[in-house]
Amino acid sequence: MDTLIIGSGPAGYTAAIYAARADLKPVIYTGLEPGGQLTTTTDVDNFPGYPKGIDGPKMMDELKEQAERFGTEVKIDFISKVEFSKNKGSLHKVFSQDGTEIEAKTIIICTGASAKYLGLPSEQKLIGGGVSACAVCDGFFYKNQEVAVIGGGDTAVEEATYLAKICSKVTMIVRKDHLRASKAMQNRITKYPNISILYNHEVEEVIGDNLVVGIKTINNLTKETSEIKITGLFLAIGHTPNTEIFKGQINMDESGYIITEPKSTITNIPGVFAAGDVQDKEYRQAVTAAGTGCMAALDAERYLQEI
Ligand code: NDP
């Protein structure tokens, strides 16, 4: 086949729409979470073209429908192994869950990244009920409310400063006695008097039945516990790119994100392209993922014309 797409978030389906319209007859393997991270969100209010917002799963269904309209074949299955060829023009092999071998001239990797969670049962229960891993997606729902952000890296600072413009109070919960975030990012915090930082603190429990009403924290030096009343808890403890099956086959950075050439989706493997969060730890938005999905289809089309 000409083009195989792995992963079915906004990047994967947008790549499929463009590839199908270019008559590349793409096949998309959806992976274990068809629709990707947006299927765990409720309202998507920041995707252009939906003035009233749209339900995350509905948006992904519509993207799927749009991809199928132009002839994309959607396989509800996942790829468990890949064997990339290093030679331009030769076929790449991938294997689906049941061991079926598939050969493709071009492959577009759109497997995304997953936000890390603490793993507490009380936290898992309240995902979508006040526990979120995306301030840009969900911050709006906490207007003038008190929220907390867990983490001390660049993402945590970015999330906290974003929320500080919307919420009345933002408490950062940091497990060490210092922030990991760059000095430039840390300086941003000083501009927001409504952000406070609790160092050496960890969250033991998220309180609430259906909605978050607070968190139980522990000072990891003194072992003192306390409760903080909040309505929103934002996790910012990092993301894990979904690149396990590509290890050793393609160039990645030290965190496992696939490296693409600047302003393109080209990887170090001829005919293999990467789009969306799997190659982007900076922006991570549905619309930026969709944008790079489009780029990947165009890059694949150009590559196919060359070989
Ligand atoms: P990081 O890995 O840099 O930071 C994760 C933070 O979460 C750390 O403070 C870490 O603590 C904390 N943490 C991890 N696990 C837990 C846990 N179980 N409980 C409590 N705290 C925990 O991830 P980021 O997402 O912040 O950043 C990823 C990369 O993206 C970085 O390279 C960053 O520079 C970059 N980035 C850059 C941005 C920018 O420049 N605008 C914006 C966003 C990201 P500890 O320090 O103790 O390990």
For residue 39, give the CATH number of its domain.
3.50.50.60
Other Cβ atoms less than 10 A from the Cβ of 83: the count is 12
Domain of residue 198 covers 117-235
Backbone angles phi, psi at 204, to 5 degrees: -95, -35
For atom 28 of ligand 1, which residue has the closest CA? 238
Same domain, 77 and 65: yes
Same domain, 230 and 278: no
Same domain, 164 and 250: no
Question: Is the distance from the beta carbon of residue 158 to the nearest atom of ligand 1 less than 6 Å?
Answer: yes
Distance from the alpha carbon of residue 125 to the mean position of ligand 1, in angstroms: 23
In angstroms, the Cα distances linking 256 to 18, 34, 93, 241, 280 are: 27, 22, 21, 6, 11
Per the residue annotation, which of 138, 154, 280, 299 is the catalytic one?
138
| Euclidean distance between CA atoms 241 and 256, whole angstroms | 6
| Ramachandran assignment for 121, one of left (phi > 0), alpha (psi -120 to 50 degrees), beta (any other) | alpha
Same domain, 110 and 122: no
Read off the pLDDT band of 33 (50, 70, 90).
Answer: confident
Domain boundary residue, one of 235, 260, 289? 235
* Pocket residue to mutate for ligand 1, from 136, 185, 235, 237, most atoms within 8 A of Cβ: 237
**Tens digits of residue pLDDT in 43-83:** 777 899 999 989 888 999 999 999 999 999 999 999 999 99
| Euclidean distance between CA atoms 207 and 209, whole angstroms | 7
**Tens digits of residue pLDDT in 176-190:** 999 999 898 899 999
Domain boundary residue, one of 199, 217, 235? 235
The strand pairing partners of 258, in sequence order, are 252
By C-alpha distance, which of 199, 198, 230, 32 is closest to 126? 230
Same domain, 256 and 162: no
**Tens digits of residue pLDDT in 133-168:** 989 888 999 999 999 999 999 889 989 999 999 999
294 is catalytic: no
Number of domains in the chain: 2
Per the residue annotation, which of 45, 55, 61, 137 is the catalytic one?
137
Same domain, 102 and 132: no
167 is catalytic: no
Same domain, 57 and 74: yes
137 is catalytic: yes
pLDDT > 90: what percent of the chain? 85
Same domain, 102 and 246: yes
Question: Is the distance from the beta carbon of residue 148 to the nearest atom of ligand 1 less than 6 Å?
Answer: no
Read off the pLDDT band of 41 (50, 70, 90).
Answer: low
**Tens digits of residue pLDDT in 244-277:** 999 999 999 999 999 999 999 999 999 999 999 9
